[in-house]
Amino acid sequence: MTTIYRPSADFDDVIRAQSPTPTYEESVPYGTTAPPGGTYGVPQGQPFDPNAGAGDLYGAPAPGYDPFLSPGGAGIVDPYAGSPMPGYTTGLNGPQPFRFGWTSNLTFGLLPKVRTYAQPGGAQGGNFGVFETDVDLKYTTPLRSGWIFSAAPEFDYRGWSGPQFISLPGAGYRFGTDLALSTPANGLWSVQLGFTPALASDFGKSLSSNAWQFDARVVLFYRPSQTWMFAVGAAYWDRLGDYVIPYAGVVWTPNDLWEIRAMFPKSRVSRFLGNVGHKSVWLYGTFEYDIESFEVERAGVTNRDQVEFKDYALMLGLRGEGPCMTMFLEAGGVFRRHAYFQSGGGFDTKDGFMARFGFQF
């Protein structure tokens, strides 16, 4: 069950990446648009090409040069040369890992029908499939205190097909708002605090307290160098059950071609392939864990019930990043997928295929 409100999205505003990875995730991690004249010798809106040779049309550096790791090299403009690193500078491509202003995400996902299996004490369910739509609109702004605040209203739709022999409504809806406070991530230490109230239901009848969900997180980041970053923290997920999961891991960025995020609840490996027109193209793989739940109306159950889905997903995808829009297409598998009901019972789903498409602007 993949969604834009997966907790992994919360990392992107503070993790240094050569370019954004908004596979249903956060906004551009390192600045908004380049200042007039370009940054690091590259004109505004022109993606950095690590394969360009010195003295090319844009004055790009030699192959393999990473402006984040070796600022101020030959032919390169260092915007911070001779001055201390500011807390944040709007409109500057560089170490600042936040994109101020508005960003939008729209994602569609398809999980074709697969066979289900009865859990102990349950009935055979038949086949089960899901169609997903996720939308969010995020606003990020600096505060007078020096912290960065973001608010992201979210809407998520789940169209359920089946199981034929288990009562489950045809759709679930989620309305939420992710609120976050972060410190500027340009020093050794930074922190992010998050709170996400949400309403998740099929809206078949009047709502009960089971429709409300209140998630929270706190993460501490330590960045000893531009190539290494460590994260430690925890998150609380309010679902059918109450879950406290680790928010922790290591990010390694050895050069301008690779980024490796060994994180939980989501890990990702990204490899820069090159530029196609005005788009930078990346190949990436992800491994993630998710839990989501909805209040539902079920035949044969006296009161409103609640369904919870747990799963792991392994995905491989391509994304193209342009000055105004980023698009991605990914496919993979969902496995160890389980559904539980508050009234008792549930079903397990056979491992299956999943595809997802989306864009950010």
- 101-159 residue pLDDT tens: 999 999 999 999 999 987 765 556 789 999 999 999 999 999 998 899 999 999 999 99
Q: Which two tokens stand for residue 119?
A: 């859990």
Give the pLDDT band (50/70/90) at residue 201.
very high
> Is 121 part of a structural domain of the chain?
yes
| Residue with more model confidence, 13 or 222 | 222
Dig out the tokens for 250 from the structure. 């290591």
Residue 21 covered by a domain: no
Mean pLDDT, residues 255-264 taken together: 93
d(CA 127, CA 120) in angstroms, rounded, equals 18
The closest of 106, 262, 252, 96 to 182, measured between CA atoms, is 96
Q: How far apart are CA 163 and CA 165, in angstroms?
A: 6
Instruction: Report the share of the chain in percent with pLDDT over 70.
Output: 72
> Looking at the predicted structure, is the pLDDT value of residue 279 above 60?
yes
Q: What is the pLDDT of residue 160?
A: 96
| Position 109 in a domain | yes
89 versus 176: which is more confidently predicted? 176
172 close to 202: Cβ distance less than 8 angstroms: yes
Classify residue 311: in a domain, yes or no. yes
Q: What is the mean pLDDT of residues 174-193?
A: 92
Asked if residue 268 lies in contact with residue 284, where contact means CB atoms within 8 angstroms, the answer is: yes
pLDDT (mean) for 82-95: 35
- Please, what is the average pLDDT of the chain? 78
pLDDT over 50 at 167, yes or no: yes
In a domain, 350, yes or no: yes
Q: Give the C-alpha distances (Å, rounded to integers) separating 137 from 8, 13, 24.
A: 17, 15, 12
The predicted structure's pLDDT at residue 264: 94
The domain spanning residue 336 has which CATH number?
2.40.160.40
89 domain residue, yes or no: no
Please report whether residue 62 resides in a domain: no
Query: Count of domains in the chain?
Result: 1
Model-wide pTM > 0.85: no
The pair of three-digit structure tokens given for residue 76, joined into one six-digit string: 């390169």
Question: pLDDT tens digits, residue range 321-345?
Answer: 888 889 999 999 999 999 999 988 8
> Span 188-207, mean pLDDT?
94
- Which residues form the domain of 269? 101-360
Task: Give the pLDDT score at 124.
Answer: 65
Is the pLDDT confidence value at 315 over 90?
yes
Q: Is residue 31 part of a domain?
A: no
